[in-house]
Amino acid sequence: MKKFIFFSFFILILSGTFAQHIGFSGAYCANHYYDYKKNNGHFITEYKNGSGYSLNINLDSILISKDLFRFSFHFSKYDGSIMTRDGGLAGAVSTKANITKYILGLTIFPIHIKVWKELKINIGGI
């Protein structure tokens, strides 16, 4: 908890200093697992939905070869679990797995249009 408070305070200081060129955002994520096959016969699948978080750092108005770019670095973490069973009277097979997924990404916005002082349109992708 102390690390979270320190990190939040550090972000507030940086965002006030570089408010026009750097941005921070975060989110709580809830995931849901879906099965495209229905349980039939002796085959059963059960899912446990998990949660996660996402953190983003955005760097705006970066000058590269006389062109302005925007970069977004993001990190996400999700988790959950799955359990399957298949079998009848002669025997059964079961599988149980905990799932943790980490995503680290960079998004580049090469088209950086400033419409008004406070409105910018950025077009780009991963």
Backbone angles phi and psi of 66, in degrees to 5:
65, 15
Q: Are 52 and 80 in contact (CB under 8 A)?
A: no
In a domain, 121, yes or no: yes
Which two tokens mark 21?
A: 């060129």
In a domain, 62, yes or no: yes
pLDDT in tens, 7-31: 665 555 555 444 457 888 888 888 8
In a domain, 63, yes or no: yes
pTM, full prediction:
0.60
In a domain, 45, yes or no: yes
Separation CA 47–CA 39 (nearest Å): 12
| Predicted pLDDT of residue 19 | 46
In a domain, 87, yes or no: yes
Cβ-based neighbours of 24, under 8 Å, separated by 6 or more: 11, 14, 15, 55, 56, 57, 58
- Weakest-pLDDT range from 15-24, 34-43, 58-67, 85-94: 15-24
Share of the chain above pLDDT 90, in %: 10
Q: Are 46 and 73 in contact (CB under 8 A)?
A: no
In a domain, 4, yes or no: no
In a domain, 17, yes or no: no
In a domain, 5, yes or no: no
Number of domains in the chain: 1
Q: Range of 113's domain?
A: 22-125
- Residue 82, by phi and psi: left (phi above 0), alpha (psi -120 to 50) or beta? beta
